[in-house]
């Protein structure tokens, strides 16, 4: 190999490495926001590059993983948190108490395993707000969301006035300014436990929401009932985007993961929470998210 060829080979190896080091990635820290059932409950937080809590209060985002209220973990939304932190949010994903099947069958009549998940989610939101100064977030501009069971938990944690942990600080609420819901799992059978029934807790003035579903998702029926009630209450700030031919959990893998993140970014820009364009590129394979209908007002209130 001559000297010129050797130089070119070394350059090809070093340039990607130099580019990698030039990319400023979000920093990540883990905290324990509470103990429940004798176990620590963790919140994994991603901070924007160069974020200085003493100088900036930025919007915050919390995403709850799915897993049928009995499984799942923090891995599901790590990419989303990293991305939104790179866009300027302090983004977090949270674990929460989940009952085993054996523990669930021992519950009193009218109670489900979903209650403990919601209680911990409310604690996580309050902890996030309580530590706003330390984290550098604006407690009045919190976005919340989740996937499947996590989407259900997110809605109930913010709309149900009950299921509070008595140990939580009472001077912090769980109100939020927007929702990102990835095929939220609302079950018709939830009417048996009013504390976890979304239809019982929807009300006028629910914060703007962006919702994603695959058209072949059997859970979409539960969302349709909730969406119908929202519209009957006068809600005009809920946007539903559909992935044609996709099933439950479609958003966990590309190309749909990237497409949902781009759409969520655009939604937050419209609300004035983010600014500029998404830094992600739509997949070249041509898939698209399709608006279900024009349910969102042309002009959203800036938050």
- Among 134-143, 157-166, 180-189, 286-295, whose mean pLDDT is lowest? 286-295
| Cα–Cα nearest to 179, from 206, 215, 213, 217 | 206
What mean pLDDT is predicted for residues 134-148? 98
Residue 263 three-state SS? helix
Mean pLDDT of the chain: 89
46-83 pLDDT tens trace: 999 999 999 999 999 999 999 999 999 999 999 999 99
- Range of weakest confidence among 5-19, 65-79, 255-269: 5-19
- Secondary structure of residue 36 in the 3-state scheme: strand
pLDDT at 110: 74
| Band (145; pLDDT cuts 50, 70, 90) | very high
Helical segments of the chain, H only: 3-22, 78-86, 101-104, 114-130, 132-135, 149-159, 198-201, 220-232, 256-270
- 228: which 2 tokens? 């119908």
Residue 137's pLDDT band, with cuts at 50, 70 and 90, is very high
Query: Which of 80, 69, 79, 73 is CA-nearest to residue 103?
Result: 69
Class level of CATH domain 30-291: alpha beta
pTM: 0.88
Q: pLDDT for 191-200, tens place per residue? A: 999 999 999 9
| Domain parsing of the chain, residue ranges | 30-291
CA 95, 188, 185: angle at the middle one, nearest 5?
A: 30
Three-point CA angle 220, 97, 265, nearest 5° = 50
């Amino acid at each position: 190999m001559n000297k010129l060829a050797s130089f070119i080979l070394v350059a090809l190896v070093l340039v990607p490495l130099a580019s990698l080091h030039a990319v400023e990635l979000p920093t990540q820290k883990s905290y324990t926001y509470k103990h429940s059932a004798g176990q620590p409950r963790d919140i994994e937080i991603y901070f924007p590059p160069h974020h200085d809590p003493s100088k900036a209060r930025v919007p915050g985002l919390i995403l709850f993983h799915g897993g049928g209220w009995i499984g799942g973990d923090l891995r599901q939304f790590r990419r989303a948190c990293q991305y939104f932190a790179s866009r300027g949010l302090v983004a977090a994903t949270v674990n929460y108490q989940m009952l085993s099947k054996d523990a669930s069958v021992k519950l009193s009549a009218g109670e489900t395993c979903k209650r403990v998940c919601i209680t911990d989610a409310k604690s996580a939101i309050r902890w996030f707000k309580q530590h706003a100064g330390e984290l550098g977030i604006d407690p009045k501009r919190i976005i919340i969301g989740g996937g499947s069971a996590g989407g259900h938990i997110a809605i109930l944690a913010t709309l149900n006035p009950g299921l509070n942990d008595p140990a939580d600080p009472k001077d912090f609420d769980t109100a939020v300014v927007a929702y990102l819901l990835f095929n939220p799992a609302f079950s018709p059978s939830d009417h048996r436990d009013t504390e976890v029934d979304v239809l019982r807790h929807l009300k006028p003035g629910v914060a703007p929401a962006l919702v994603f579903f695959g058209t072949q998702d059997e859970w979409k029926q539960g969302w349709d009932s909730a969406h119908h009630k929202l519209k009957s209450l006068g809600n005009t700030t809920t946007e539903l985007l559909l992935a044609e031919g996709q099933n439950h959990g479609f958003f966990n893998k590309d190309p749909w993961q990237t497409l949902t993140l781009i759409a969520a970014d655009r939604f937050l820009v419209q609300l004035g929470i983010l600014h500029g364009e998404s830094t992600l590129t739509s997949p070249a394979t041509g898939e698209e998210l399709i608006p279900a209908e024009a349910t969102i007002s042309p002009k959203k209130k800036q938050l």
